Amino acid sequence: MQIVILKDASEVARYGADIFTSQLQRKAESVLGLATGSTPVALYQELIKRNQTGMVTFKETTTFNLDEYLGLSGEHPQSYRYFMNEQLFNHIDIDKDRTHVPPGDAKNPVIACQEYEAKIASAGGVDIQLLGIGRNGHIGFNEPSSGLTSRTRVKTLTKATIDDNARFFKEDEYQPHLSITMGIGTILDARKVVLLATGENKAEAVKAMVEGPLTAACPASALQLHKYAVIVIDMAAASQL
Ligand code: GLP
């Protein structure tokens, strides 16, 4: 694990964008693993700027998102597909057919999970996987107690995660309690992993991930096993290290 501690969230976004930019400049047809949540938004804005100024192109790039709410179709404003379109895909030169988000409206979610794994494999695997981290140490929607070799599957969300993500939903709006998420084993198969964390409310999870034991109680600690995992954090998120 390589730990990079930077001053603030905007430095974290730029550093993360630099990693993705050099990956794409080296290999335009890269397979990127992407994440949702508020943390990667600044990195996406940076990539949009770089795409619009011609520094980087996504024309040959394929993407796979980590997770999706089960029960929401891609047109639903709270779905992660909608989020990715709004925050990134609509603003870059990517071919939308090459962007993949687990289908939240799948008729048979179990089969959909197997198909998602097969699609990743037939694309040649993920070159570089972007991650955020939940306050309870989750990555994707792999909540504490997730199997460390798990594959894409349906997962229930913990109350802590539902509460943390309630800010994105209106008061009377339906908030799903289930998700489809890449497994920890799926994430560990990526050739590189880049995890971003900013703010003091992530400090405890960052400490558990980096300094704690390898344990399903902190799913992000599985990254200790990865041979190319870069943890990019600001000083606030590093404050308990
Ligand atoms: C959600 C996503 C995760 C993300 C986490 C943290 O639960 N499934 O992939 O890392 O939120 O989000 P934020 O960056 O908003 O703190």
CATH of the domain at 86: 3.40.50.1360
From the alpha carbon of 38, which atom of ligand 1 is closest? 15
Q: Domain range for residue 79?
A: 2-234
Ligand 1, atom 9: nearest CA belongs to which residue? 140
What pLDDT sits at residue 171?
87
Flag whether 10 is in a domain. Answer: yes
Flag whether 240 is in a domain. Answer: no
Query: What residues line ligand 1, using a CB cutoff of 6 Å?
Result: 35-39, 66-67, 132-134, 140-141, 161, 165
Counted domains in the chain: 1
Flag whether 239 is in a domain. Answer: no
CA distance to 138, 166, 175, per residue, from 170 (Å): 24, 8, 9
Distance 11 CA to ligand 1 centre (A): 19
Distance 133 CA to ligand 1 centre (A): 6
From the alpha carbon of 35, which atom of ligand 1 is closest? 9
Residuewise pLDDT in 10s, the chain (241 residues)? 999 999 999 999 999 999 999 999 999 999 999 999 999 999 999 999 999 999 999 999 999 999 999 999 999 999 999 999 999 999 999 999 999 999 999 999 999 999 999 999 999 999 999 999 999 999 999 999 999 999 999 999 999 999 988 998 888 889 999 999 999 999 999 999 999 999 999 999 999 999 999 999 999 999 999 999 999 999 999 999 9
Cβ proximity of 1 and 188 under 8 Å: no
What pLDDT sits at residue 30?
98
Helix %, strand %, coil % of the chain (to 5): 40, 20, 45
Q: Which of 43, 133, 159 to mutate to test the pocket of ligand 1 (most atoms within 8 A of CB)?
A: 133
What pLDDT sits at residue 80?
97
Flag whether 159 is in a domain. Answer: yes
Ligand 1, atom 10: nearest CA belongs to which residue? 132
Flag whether 241 is in a domain. Answer: no
Instruction: Please state the ipTM of this predicted complex.
Output: 0.95
**In this structure, are strands 153-156 and 99-100 parallel, antiparallel, or unpaired?**
unpaired
Classified as helix, coil or strand, 58 is: coil
What pLDDT sits at residue 229?
98
Q: CA angle, 61 as apex, 60 and 67 as ends, to 5°? A: 155
Say which residues have a Cβ less than 8 Å from residue 34's Cβ, sequence separation at least 6: 40, 63, 64, 65, 66, 84, 88, 130
Residues taking part in catalysis: 67, 136, 138, 143
Alpha helices per DSSP H over 41-190:
41-52, 80-87, 109-122, 159-165, 184-188
